[in-house]
Amino acid sequence: MRCVLADSGIHVRPNGDITMCCDQASLGLNAKDHTLQQAYASPQFKRVRDNLANDIKDSSCKICWLSEDAGLDSPRTRFSAMHEDSIHLSHWDIRDDNLCNMACRICGPYSSSMWNSEALKHKEDSLYYHMPISDTIVQGTKTNTIEAFKENLQHCKSVYFAGGEPLINNTHWDILKTLYDNEMWDVHVRYNTNLMKTQYKGMDALDMWEKFTRLSVAVSVDAVGELAEYARTGTVWQTLENNIKRLAEYHRVQANITTSILTIHELDKTIEHLKHIGVADIYYFNVLRTPNFLNINLLPSGYKEQLLKKLNLEQFEDSKGIEHLRNILFEEPDNKEELIGQFKYYNEKLDAVRDTDLRSVNPELYEVIYETN
């Protein structure tokens, strides 16, 4: 079984865990005890490679096997279709801290320092939903990333930046500047970003990115205007819209919408507006599964068809995405009433802490949750 990332990839998580890719389960390797080069040459990495070479499904790669056993593409098949084989350390996905300038309601302290900061302030409050993950706001790990990256620079084929928020991550800027200074314009540079902050120590990502011939920037945006600011706390909509417009002047911008109970009611308006400001590719069928009390399947059963009719998603010509969204929407969880109660509790607590109001930003959701249920 061919897997480009098993042969030539490296991934670091905020807790120091080192794997071949972001979907792989822990291999027991940590940046506290291993350099990236040591991890890449470790017996654990070799075991996975040997298993794949012998058509054995390594247990650490369960996410891929579940997709493939269901007849679907997996992270392994998708990435391997995009890149040639390499026997060198060539593909980098470094997320060495959870530093983030946002506290999205669908997220939590593990992936956001802003979330963790809020959780620390309320850790004595038994009614507050999230417990802090550490007594320090930012969870991060020290690695020898830049040393290892420069050592393998000639073999670099791709870098992937996600968060936390990569555009406020020091390691990200060191890697980007190294590529820029060495004019490695053919490296595939990929991002998943909230695109709120693009400047750092005299550098501007929007200027630097224009040089790269293989650039993929996916902007995480679930709504527009006031609802965007509500669902993804920390968003300043006008700043985000201006940055999207600027990027769209030279790049085919992608928007990744995570569709949840908080934002589905405005999904049609969100897609229309993103197209209007220059977003070329919009993916809205990433339907939130966890936390399950934010799933769209919690909407009242008799209301679901009415909502789909109002959204009229067929106008956006993506039948596969519509079918996927419909399938999840029409699920009926056995513990639906319990989950609705959890949603109310969670969201009301955040509204109190953040001085926000669901009823004012999404009156339709408020009505169906509080007045229909």
pTM of the model: 0.88
How many angstroms separate the CA atoms of 142 and 151, rounded?
Answer: 18
366-to-13, 176, 288, 300, 356 alpha-carbon distances in Å: 37, 44, 19, 12, 13
> Which residues touch 266 (CB under 8 Å, ≥6 apart)?
223, 224, 227, 362
> Which residues touch 139 (CB under 8 Å, ≥6 apart)?
14, 15, 97, 98, 110, 113, 116, 133
pLDDT at 314: 86
Query: Residue 362 phi/psi, 5° resolution?
Result: -145, 70
pLDDT at 178: 97
185-to-116, 188, 229, 251, 346 alpha-carbon distances in Å: 36, 8, 35, 14, 45
pLDDT at 259: 94
pLDDT at 255: 94
Nearest to 198 by CA among 166, 228, 175: 166
Low-confidence ranges of the chain (pLDDT < 70): 126-129, 132, 136-140, 318-320, 373
